[in-house]
Amino acid sequence: MNRIPALVIATVAAALFSACTTEISRNVYEGIRVHNESLESTPMERMKGKAMSYDEYEKERQRNAYGGK
């Protein structure tokens, strides 16, 4: 009987953690992107243009993961 509350707590904790990982990934990506843009860059790096946002990155990643074009 003592296993059920522990299982419920573990399930809730896992659900909360999985919901937070998307925001953590987004914040890490955006932080690195903004940091890199704030650094002085070479003329060659400036020609590449701005890095894509996290939403654009995620769309590209999903498209590539499923073999889409």
Domain parsing of the chain, residue ranges: 3-65
Burial of 13 (0-12, 13-18, 19+ CB in 10 A): exposed
Interacting residues of 63 by C-beta distance below 8 A, sequence separation 6+: 69
Average pLDDT, the chain: 78
pLDDT, tens digit, 9 for 90 and up, residues 10-34: 887 777 776 666 677 888 888 888 8
Give the per-residue pLDDT at 52: 83
